[in-house]
Chains A and B, each alone.
Chain A
Amino acid sequence: MRVKVISRSTDEFTRDRSQDLQKVFRNYDPALRSQEKAVEYTRALNAAKLEKIFAKPFIGAMDGHIDAVSCMAKNPNNLKAVFSGSMDGDIRLWDIAARKTVCQFPGHQGAVRGLATSTDGDLLISCGVDCTVRLWKDPMRRMMDTSDAIGDASQPSAVYTWKHAFWGVDHQWDGNIFATVGAQVDIWDHNRSEPINSFEWGKDTLLSVRFNPGEPDVLITSASDRSLTLYDLRMSSPARKLIMKTRCNSVCWNPREPMNFTAANEDTNCYSFDSRKLEEAKIVHRGHVSAVMDIDYSPTGREFVTGSYDRTVRIFQYNGDHSREIYHTKRMQRVFCVKYTYDGTYLVSGSDDTNLRLWKSKASEQLGVILPRERKKQEYLDAVKERYKHLPEIKRIVRHRHLPKPIYKAANIRRTMIEAESRKEERRRAHSAPGSRPVQPFRKRRLIKEVE
């Protein structure tokens, strides 16, 4: 007879001393774990609920400006530095970790309209409606200083006066060139008091400008003649132009896919384009109920943030047609500018109520140092939530966002209007000759034409 029975000595399975860690034994046999799917589903449901409970995206407001915040710039050299310009001509440098003004620059007469920093972070460029471009050398000096007294920074290192009021500025990636827009596009060099090049296509005011992060000589502008124009500095004239039905307030390139850009349009939508194929938008990002004022991509290129005239800040997936997140507070007014910080964790919004606001990009994310075990647990819960996201209960909880009443109602009205429009179009189609009214996809509907 050969016989053996299970025999465990307790010492072998428990720790020797109380200071030791508990011994852990694993057996991954599925037979030990019954009803795995039900357990996973319950965990996913609880995780979805907890996510809602912990969703506290608002970190704080930064006050100091005495007029509406009109523009912002982040510094590639420093994660916690943000520059902001206001309608009264004031420019400030903020430390977003401490949520304090570090330094105040004696700015412009009249509104500051554009702020940009050079890629090395050593130069701040501001422009405004007083027809001047101001260059500030070493703007971060105050931040590095140990003395915490707020004082006026030195005078601008250069002031260039030009013929027209400016509406925006952007600095080239890797280079000495920056571009301003106003009545025309002007290309400037750091060391020249006059633009080295100018472009003009049409007579209307240009609203914003952005250099391409991949191709340093390519830039895009949006103008109040409802156009988006692509320029190449190596050519003497603008390259291409797209005319839409409403104007775009701002544009932003996707930093990871630099051929794509997204435009924040006046008609409440954002349009993502492939710059090589302007005849139709890749995706229309819908959700806002009033004009979108500003847009900024996260450094990963997977998400972007928009600020709108409807007093909300929204986060979209780069390929998602509806917003992933909606941020609002009782006191936040029309949002004029938004920025995604360079670590992809925070958002900064500047609004009409003279405040800058700091938000988390993931509303329920735990801040601070996370232990590996906590991180693993979070990853597991995220995976489970992803797996069961189609189930009605989880979907309902994850999708739900509380909205202020005016926005909720406005969204309802907009939905009704869009439905009515499409119904009307359907009827028109039904009563006209077959094929005479082709179905226009939404991606093309708001575009008029592309001009070479």
Chain B
Amino acid sequence: MGISTEEDPKERKNNKDSLDEMEMKVAKYSRGKAANLGALRDKKLKGQLAGKERLIGQSAKAAAQAEKWFLPIEGGYLEPEGLEKTYRYQQQSIVQEVDLLSSRKPFDMILPVLGPYTLEYTSNGRYMIVGGRKGHIAMMDMLNMDLIKEFQVRETVRDVAFLHNEQLFAVAQKKYPYIYNRHGTEIHCLKEHGKSLKLQFLDKHFLLVSINSFGQLHYQDMSTGEMIANYRTGLGRTDVMRANPYNAVIGVGHAGGKVTMWKPTSVKPLVTMLCHHGPVTAVAFDRGGHLMATAGVDRKIKIWDLRKYEVVHSYTARAQSLDFSQKGLLAGSNGSLVEIYKDSGGQDYKVYMKHRMIKGYQVDKVLFRPYEDICGIGHSMGLSSILVPGSGEANFDTFVENPVETRKQRREKEVQALLNKLPPETIMLDPNMIATVRQPKKKEKKTKKEIEEEIEDVVEAAKNTKVKKKTKGRSKPSKRAKKKEEEVLKAKRPLLDQYKETNGQPEKKQRIGDQSELPKALQRFAKNRQP
């Protein structure tokens, strides 16, 4: 065995790589940049903040270093060899390659009578609930493929949603949404929501959000039963609604091509974006909160940056439903074709996998299963599930979501969730705004005094301008005085308007509807000012 005195250049490169990797990990855990202490003048505060920053740095580093012990499972992947393309791989060939346990996970369930089916997973990915349009509800334990409960409601089922855990779920039925427990017992009928088309549950806030056939949004607190908010979108009937997991804002896609975003404490939408020419068919949000994918009837799938509200990429493709996975894969369904897209750098999504159902099946919903490399598909002839390597988060946190939780852990988690229930006011576009200082408004209105001073200055300047000497009697003292006066008036006119505004009475514009203005014949068209 020889002892090499010189360091291997390859090894050195590896070391450098691992250092860079470490830095990236630390950046992930330090949650944003450090405060700029250089600009501070208060020494005491500076010292305190410096101490805090040091602590944050240490804990980020510790978390990054502990990653290799805490994260024992490697995430999934699918890598081509040679000239192969990942999207050419069939499900059968993938299933043959993976281990026995995983090869049992994909399935095709043919339920031709009561479809098309929609589905939903619990946030820990263990349980699945499916709803057939013609009234078939079934709940399954996906860990050991057990059917927990199956029943018929004998009326139209439009959507299903789990509440905070698998014990309760909501079903949007023909006239109202209902709440059932895992034994299929009806617990509540939420008549106030009306004929709801889509349901979403915000688990940190315990809010059930529904949109009904009149385009009304309802927010109901599921722990107290209180109706928190009820807003008209005013943009017509739609069944495209998704919650943004990053900030719990609800995104609604409308038939006019608009996507609006809502929070329960404002009557008006926070954001209205014109995303498509023609109806929006699907909306999905990434876990990181900065990406939104929309699909429209105009044969476009668009990826949006939600920090700038701009299109990042636009692709020509159809999609009836979209979903982002935990690791950022995007699934879209078009007829009987399910396509999975993957970020190839710079949010440019390229086709990663394709899965074609049997011809004639119409895919209704695609949904990634959390903490697993699986995508669930609800279609007109039943349910399917396919393997999508690299879609799920490999390592769960027992205290956040636990796919193998026991009954006791579930109960404990329920109590904690109720204790930490967030008030509806905490839903906002930027959730990190809480406990930060509001920036002062850039343009302050000038005070009366300031305007007066400014006018004085302007007048003084205007008076001091030299008037050109002119011939043929145009420089007579009277003319010159008049000219100066004009100059002064011209200089102070823009300021006078501001001055009037500060006096409290902005100049009222005459309304067209004012009756005195209109000739008699037109007066009846004027808006009636009395309610």
Contact = CB atoms under 8 A, between A and B. Distances in A.
Interface of A: 1-10, 13-14, 22-39, 41-43, 46, 387-388, 390-391
A25 B396 contact: yes
A4 B74 contact: yes
| Interface size of B as a range | 35 or more
Nearest to B94: A3
A28 B102 contact: no
A5 B387 contact: yes
Given A1-B78, A10-B143, A22 B409 contact: yes
A386 to B, nearest CB: 11
Given A3-B77, A388-B435, A27 B71 contact: yes
Contact of B246 (A1, A28, A34): A34
A33 B399 CA distance: 10
Interface of B: 28-29, 31, 63, 66-67, 70-81, 84, 89, 93-94, 97-99, 101-102, 143-144, 204, 245-248, 287-289, 371-373, 387, 389, 392-401, 403-404, 406, 409, 419-423, 426, 431-432, 434-435
Contacts of B72: 25
Contacts of A41: 426, 434-435
Contact of A2 (B29, B79, B387, B426): B79
Given A6-B371, A39-B204, 8 more contacts: A2-B77, A2-B81, A3-B389, A5-B387, A30-B31, A34-B204, A37-B435, A387-B435
Contacts of B400: 27, 32-33
Given A3-B389, A25-B395, A34-B289, A8 B403 contact: yes
Contacts of B387: 5
A30 B431 contact: no
B434 A6 contact: no
A5 B71 CA distance: 15
A46 B204 CA distance: 15
A387 B98 CA distance: 48
A14 B404 contact: yes
Contacts of A22: 398, 406, 409
Contacts of A390: 435
Nearest to B392: A6
Contact of A27 (B389, B396, B421, B432): B396
Chain A CB count within 10 A is highest, among B74, B81, B404, B426, for: B404
A6 B74 CA distance: 8
Contact of B395 (A27, A30, A38, A43): A27
Contact of A3 (B78, B371, B396, B422): B78
Contacts of B73: 6, 8
B28 A30 contact: yes
A14 B246 CA distance: 30
A25 B394 CA distance: 12
Contacts of B78: 1-3
Nearest to B244: A34
17 contacts: A1-B81, A2-B81, A4-B74, A4-B76, A7-B101, A24-B399, A25-B395, A26-B70, A27-B393, A27-B395, A32-B393, A36-B31, A37-B432, A38-B422, A41-B434, A387-B435, A388-B435
A28 B29 contact: yes
Nearest to B374: A5
Given A26-B397, A37-B434, A46 B419 contact: yes
B389 A4 contact: yes
Contacts of B93: 1
A1 B84 contact: yes
A30 B400 CA distance: 11
Contacts of B392: 6
Contacts of A37: 431-432, 434-435
B396 A42 contact: no
B63 A42 contact: no
